[in-house]
Structure 1
Amino acid sequence: MKKTVSISGALLLALVPAISGCTSSTGGAIGLAAGGALPIKASGKALAFRANATNTASTNSYTKLPTSQHQIQQAKILEKSKAGGIQIEGSADEDKNPTNTQGTNPALISASSPDMLENGTAIAGMKDAKGNVYFENGNFGDAQASNETANLSSVGVYNVYENNKFVEQIVMKHGTTIRYQEGKDGDATATYAVGYIGNNTTNMPATGMATYKGFTEGGTSVYDDNGTMQQMGLRGGKVELAADFGAGKVTGGISGAQFVTYKGNNMVVLNNDITGLDIKADITGAEYTGTATLVDANKQAIGTTSSNEAIGAFFGDGAAETAAAFLIEGNAPIDGQNRDYIMSGGIGAVKQ
């Protein structure tokens, strides 16, 4: 789905209970070429975690379709995916019996994973959930779907504005970022995930360097405000990843941003020293794994972390695009106190 931002650079701001996601596969995902159409079949990877939550099922007042809410209740991870994330399988088929509010490309959307979290919790997934897939300017295809137990959202097209003036559109043609949540109505925990799906690069460069300009999508990101979970995120700044194919390294992330929340209609800066997210990862084949850390302007870590993982993959001919997902659990000076937090999200980017 296209995302429009009215700031300099790009946005990572999960100031609503965001839906988190799936991601790209270990061996060459199956998907669509640029400018595709239904059906879509693709695979990927995600970073997932389970946390205390309030889950409720309802009916969307506009679409009249089932939907669900998964409100996290604690900034502590009970269980997460093993190192390297979980594999995701997804599909979107034409819905031949759509509602009149389902969108221009009504689809039956499914998502599943063969993997479990580290303590054995399975991903329930969704099967033939009524939703929509957005195709724009040759993008891979962005799915949106909900049912009574899960939500799925993907973003691969991003409009960038500066001073209310359109600057450019970033279009991922070979993959997309994905966010996902699941939990049964009344259950005390929910599972959240962020990731990507797409066509993994089969002709990876062996030498040289590349810079990728991108956007961010916030996943589930909260801090503990004396027992109340407050949403938070990095606002503005530059989103950029760099790959050194000869050395097998990926670096970069977000720089020059503000670390904020919203209280009522007011934006509150939570820590003036936190201005970015630093990713360091090692490339293996068409994928990479490493760490993600909240940092200051000098890329020095702020606070401490109990886990801080990043995963990613390259898509398209010669690694034309990349996507990454990150998940951090830690404690940092936030809004005047040392507070526990969870931060997750995804990055989509195209080669410059």
Structure 2
Amino acid sequence: MSAAVALAIGAMALGALTPPASAATSASAGRDAVQQALNTLVRDDGMPAALASVKDRNGRTRTYTAGVGDLATHAPVPVDGQVRIGSNTKTFVAVVVLQLVGEGKIALDDDVDTYLPGLVRGKGIDGRRITVRQLLQQTSGLPNYTNYLGDDVRYYTPRELLATALRHPADFDPGEKWAYSNTNYIVAGLIVQKITGRPLAKEIDRRIIKRAGLRHTYFPAPGDASIREPHPHGYYRESADGPLHDITEIDPSWGWAAGQLISTDSDLNRFFGALLAGRLLPPAQLAQMRSTVPAEATFGPGARYGLGLVSRPLPCGGLSWGHGGSFPGYETRSGATDDGRAASVAVTMQLTDEASRRNLERAVDTALCR
């Protein structure tokens, strides 16, 4: 793997050919603000492709595409194609943990050592001082392992990912501040496995994917670098003006509980809609999930982070609840509202500049506010 891909992995949070925009699945595509937002992502931000799914408060869904799905063959963008959803995986993991809280098997304010005795230790790091809540809310101070993976793309076990983080000192004392770290969700995933005695992938599938009727969402098996269903290819470039390289097939194990899932825009809408409607968590646990702290540094003005869930103010008023995902080759943003609206947008290149990230977020806002 090149140094550019290693840099892209570290960023997971969150003179090229510019493909033409294709139409929305509607006769009024030329006048549609969502289609125009996707066209802008392709034309102005240089994304090979963009795709979206939007559900209004009455349950009507529209899908959109722009750009080209495969630069080598010029194949069209598959409507509602599968993509790597990166850190949206964290919301799935948080839901599983909170379901276990509702079942009385985990307590949010128990320390990590209650479930993983002696495992989380390092310079300034002690699992006896970090709570489950702090893991889910990104206030533990654990260093971010993806900053230290280097350029070795291979299969990683979750324990290897945690060990990578623990070779480095804590970023701050637990509870002292908020800072995004993928390591928090590796530990959360290990807790799920310890409590249930089952692989994390099986628990996500049983507790969320099947329960919410997500037909195009799955956790890739060890060694599976492919994407099962129709999908746009994902790309990266080594420099701002360099050529695009296809990175669709990549071992995703380095993301694990922090970012390994594959899904579609419509499945993400279904997931966040079911979550906000109370179909995945009891009221008490959903309320805990929506208890937030400021997270503007990572998610933009007014953003706040709950337990694996981000709230952002909408320009038309109210809040959207969702997350986002960044993975080599793909970037996604999702949001849903309490009145039933939902929107997810994906592009086929990981974003590295703030302007493009904000344009992607504005596309979601446009879809929710139109």
TM-score (norm 2): 0.28
Of Structure 1 and Structure 2, which has the larger fraction of its residues in helix?
A: 2
Q: Which is bigger in relative contact order (C-alpha 8 A, separation at least 6)?
A: 2
TM-score (norm 1): 0.29
Of Structure 1 and Structure 2, which has the larger fraction of its residues in strand?
A: 1
